[in-house]
Structure 1
């Protein structure tokens, strides 16, 4: 992950945009959006699991301004909304959040170009290539490889989260080949296409359904920790 800090910009807030998904299948209320949306318009000033308050004794760090948006569980929506987040250098980090089964928060490392064979909420499939594989056959994605990997150290973020009391968190290499992974690939590819020399860092976070085991409030607090750790590598509070 390229450094986000610089001496000249020490007082300038970092800008992080988060997305969550709308309802689909049995998720009438999508935990990803419920966890993300309280962060819209807020700011972080220190690595804390709940309120962003700066613990005594830590040096001043670059603050983080947060904004959020919802993505419908539709291939067409991902293809129209996500590239716009990378259309100009407006964000220092983009984090997409989705809901998955199980009881862990998963930090996803990779996204695949093809293999999207499931219907979205409109009953539509992902675009098909000439060999019938579904995913990203359009000319604008032709130069993108079969899989893309985030340049964020997901294992490190998990360690930081665990030190801050978030026990059920782990890195993952399988984002599910549905709208979550499709969105992740779209974002990683868009970042790479827009800024080949220094693409905007992108991360995907899978959260479990509400209260399995974390409440929505706890998931939101976990996202704050992950955001801070991703934007402030080597923060003095990280090793506490």
Structure 2
């Protein structure tokens, strides 16, 4: 029986013509990663685009989880200015938007879920994913902040949803750099080619499927 990996990306925001997170996700739609024998069959990636809107993004994510019944969920988002693919360690229970979302919403110091804990950790093997991406020549690093915009919003909502009883489904969030064509609109911004980002996510997904307990190695930061 084929299992599903749900991979989400966001629609464009802040006047950009595209969003790298969605370009990566849709490039992987239908891809079948290599899976360990213990996984119990083939897996297929299902890509879903989320609106860059507080609240609406959560509703679309929950709809996609109900539709695809995935064994693994990875949400992607753009981190303009970063030079590496960065699996996120922790989601915090706060929305504090520096700019309005695509619906003009700009919450400040608002809880993502009023009944939720202060934070959730990802249940992905983030350090093993970084290790394996680097081994394949893809720049990667652990990140300890997903910000306070819609990326952190959906990361926290995902982990809150999974914690409330979806039967051992693991999930987390990965920020990706911008693409060269977008960097051309923002002089001085670093970028990473789409093919490199797609390869990095392929490695990350395969590692997440194969590794249950993360490796214990340095992945922290001084600031």
TM-score above 0.5, yes or no: yes
Matched, 1:135 2:104: no
Could you state the TM-score of these two structures normalised by the residue count of structure 1? 0.75
1:19 and 1:33 in contact (8 A); partners too: yes
Aligned length: 200
Give the C-alpha shift of residue 213 in structure 1: 4.1
List structure 1 runs of 4+ shifted beyond 3 angstroms. Answer: 85-89
Q: In structure 1, what is the Cα distance between the partners aligned to 2:211 and 2:56? A: 32
Could you state the TM-score of these two structures normalised by the residue count of structure 2? 0.81
The verdict on how the C-alpha distance between 1:232 and 1:14 changes in structure 2, with shifts beyond 3 A counting, is: farther
Q: In structure 2, what is the Cα distance between the partners aligned to 1:24 and 1:83? A: 21
Q: In structure 2, what is the Cα distance between the partners aligned to 1:205 and 1:25? A: 20
Matched, 1:170 2:170: no
Matched, 1:39 2:39: no
SS in 2 for 1:172: coil
Q: In structure 2, what is the Cα distance between the partners aligned to 1:121 and 1:115? A: 15
CA RMSD of aligned residues (A): 2.5
Consecutive unaligned residues of structure 2, counting only runs of 5 or more, are: 181-189, 213-223
1:117 and 1:134 in contact (8 A); partners too: no
Partner of 2:217: none
Q: In structure 2, what is the Cα distance between the partners aligned to 1:13 and 1:87? A: 16
Matched, 1:67 2:43: no
Compare 79-88 and 201-210 and name the one that shifted more. Answer: 79-88
Alignment deviations for residues 84-117 of structure 1 (CA, whole Å, 9 cap, x no partner): 2444881000110011122111100111111423
Q: In structure 2, what is the Cα distance between the partners aligned to 1:45 and 1:117? A: 38
Q: In structure 1, what is the Cα distance between the partners aligned to 2:84 and 2:76? A: 13
Partner of 2:195: 217
After TM superposition, list the pairs within 5 Å mapping 1:169-188 onto structure 2.
169-188=140-159
Tell me which structure has the larger Cα radius of gyration: 1
Q: In structure 2, what is the Cα distance between the partners aligned to 1:232 and 1:213? A: 29
Q: In structure 2, what is the Cα distance between the partners aligned to 1:136 and 1:115? A: 6
After TM superposition, list the pairs within 5 Å mapping 1:59-208 onto structure 2.
62-87=41-66, 90-100=69-79, 101-118=81-98, 119-126=100-107, 133-137=109-113, 141-142=114-115, 144-166=116-138, 168-195=139-166, 198-208=167-177
The verdict on how the C-alpha distance between 1:13 and 1:38 changes in structure 2, with shifts beyond 3 A counting, is: same
